[in-house]
Amino acid sequence: MEAYTDQDIRYLKLLRKQYRTIQEASAEVAHLRAVLRLPKGTEHFLSDLHGEHQAFLHILHNASGVIKRKVNGLYGSMLSAHECDMLSTLIYYPDEKLALLKKQGIVTPEWYRLTIYQLVEVCRECSVKYTRKRVREAMPREMGALIEELMLSDNTPDKEGYYQEVMQSILETGQADAMIIALSRVIQALAIDRLHIIGDIFDRGPRADLIMDALESYHQVDVQWGNHDIVWMGAAALSEACIAQVIVTSVKYGNLETLEIGYGISLRPLATLARSCYADDPCAEFRPKENGEDMHEDEMDVARMHKAAAVLQFKLEGQLIARHPEYGMEDRRLLHRIDFARGTVEVAGKTYPLRSCRFPTVDPGDPYALTPQERDVMDRLVLEFAHSEKLQRHVQFLYSTGGMYLRCNGNLLYHGCIPMLEDGSFAPIPVTGGEGLCGRAGIDAADLLARQGYFATLGAQARRDGQDFLWYLGCGPYSPLFGKSKMATFERYFIEDKATHAEVKNAYYRYQDDEPTALGILSEFDLPHTGFIINGHVPVKLSRGENPVKAGGRLLVIDGGLSRAYQPVTGIAGYTLIFSSHELSLVAHQPFESRASAISAEQDIHSVHTLVKCMQRRLLIADTDEGDMLRGRIDDLMRLIGAYRSGVLKESRGDN
């Protein structure tokens, strides 16, 4: 007879509340063992979205081209290419496409019947690898039962009348549009089982907040934090240095929609400071990117705000670096190295002339002190960030679904790098209170401190250390998310000599194509050598012959330039890595024109699939992390059944 500890009994009593009898527990064991034999769900990996909400949402709607392939596979021999494109677009944008088709006079009762039938077939094709429970969960509550009836209908002569009556009722009760919309959304939900975002949702593009809205409501998603994300997380944690950096980046790229419209954060206090302190400053170094010589007054206001925010950033960062000598960033404190009389600055032991020496708010005797007006601006901005309900909700989502890295199904996912020294060994990460930690231990400690920066008691030393470390993760030389020697913001604004602008990549990137290094990283994270490292952060310059598959196929870099700013150097407009039960493949996307063109002209993103690895056999849920969890659940249920049969526990027929 098996021995049970008191702790075992307590756990089994909790389990008994779900499975009250031998029969119930046995039925669940049978179900779970059957689930293990299903094919693994399809995982999609994307990185470096950078606020490009329209392109990202289209990729999400079309499942990186998977839905169109299913439509073509089912109907390519029966429908014209235009008809297949129209059906695919209807699945991507059912509300808008339906409205357009009605205006064009295409929608008729017969069209409804045929289209609903086609969508049911596509839905059935997408559902074959899932349990009925998983498919039900993807269905809207109002129409789930009806969709399930249509999907289970076999169209045999015995059921032909039944099927026709269901269709007629849908039409007569005015539910055809709702059915098409519901079926389209079920198809989208089933086409991707799990979505992985490998960092950098924020900055550069127009509406990162709309991407976050979509991720919040997605059925299964995780996020590996990127260096841009972590600065927004620090700003939401009320780190003043991070708030200043968020504003500088937003103004620099002329992207204020996310801040002002998305998150309701007013920059009026900053604008007032800029007008009062920089009214007579041409702010030539701070003009919006890609702007000509002639600027209208609104652009001048933006340039002044840019400079005012940048000076705030340099002051606040200087104070932070002084608080943390362990960061080793004293060389980034540059304001006290300015010779205001000569108009020069000392950087790395050399003196350089400044493009401009107009610093009306900088006191040469105490250069990192904020003026009373600057202090008032920061206090008001802190309140704006603290009271932005949507920003706080989004950042809490990033904490609950994300982290510095993820081990998933034998693969290692992270955004930036594993910091290394020149000899290829892991570099220590300067975690406050955990100095000397490197590799996985260092990154685990960094993850913990990043959470402390948001969740520790406001005003406590632990909270302050965490807030400061969130800033370090965004730009520190041994940050796993940043991976460069410095962020040369000051030099790019004020020094002509481009040699000072260089941001040297961490040694990790020189070892990125070395297979033994990749295998060593997998081992460091207790993963098998058959796994893959999936990495973002640095755009792959495909147009210059760079290969996203590195280290003998062990490391995959999937930043293909979804952000428009990177597309000239990447030659494409983003990657999706797709890990199905059959294969691992990279999908290279061409630029997305617009949502309007996709709906009206059925212009899809052209995507090219490249096989990375074909599985020797079809992978099952039994081969995944979920399979490990289910086997543990089966073991627990078998112990519960044993406890029932041995009399250690009584079957429960009621609430006790």
Confidence of residue 606 (pLDDT cuts 50, 70, 90): confident
Confidence of residue 292 (pLDDT cuts 50, 70, 90): very low
Average confidence (pLDDT) over 82-100: 94
pLDDT of the residue at 522: 97
pLDDT of the residue at 1: 65
Average confidence (pLDDT) over 273-291: 83
How far is the C-alpha of 363 from the C-alpha of 374, rounded, in Å? 13
How far is the C-alpha of 23 from the C-alpha of 393, rounded, in Å? 43
% residues pLDDT > 70 (the chain): 97
Confidence of residue 236 (pLDDT cuts 50, 70, 90): very high
How far is the C-alpha of 515 from the C-alpha of 551, rounded, in Å? 4
Confidence of residue 304 (pLDDT cuts 50, 70, 90): very high
638-651 tens-digit pLDDT: 999 999 999 999 99
Contacts of residues 345-351 at CB distance under 8 Å and 24 or more positions apart, as own/partner, are 345/494, 345/495, 347/491, 347/495, 347/500, 348/500
Confidence of residue 436 (pLDDT cuts 50, 70, 90): confident
154-187 tens-digit pLDDT: 666 666 777 788 888 888 898 999 999 999 999 9
pLDDT of the residue at 156: 62
How far is the C-alpha of 472 from the C-alpha of 416, rounded, in Å? 14
The 3-state DSSP class for residue 288 equals coil
Asked if residues 317 and 308 have their Cβ atoms less than 8 Å apart, the reply is no
310-337 tens-digit pLDDT: 999 999 999 999 999 999 999 999 999 9
Asked if residues 310 and 241 have their Cβ atoms less than 8 Å apart, the reply is no
Nearest residue to 507 via CA among 438, 589, 570: 438
Q: What's the Cα-to-Cα distance from 226 to each of 31, 231, 402, 417, 507, rounded to whole Å?
A: 39, 9, 10, 10, 19
pLDDT of the residue at 611: 87
49-79 tens-digit pLDDT: 999 999 999 999 999 999 999 999 999 999 9
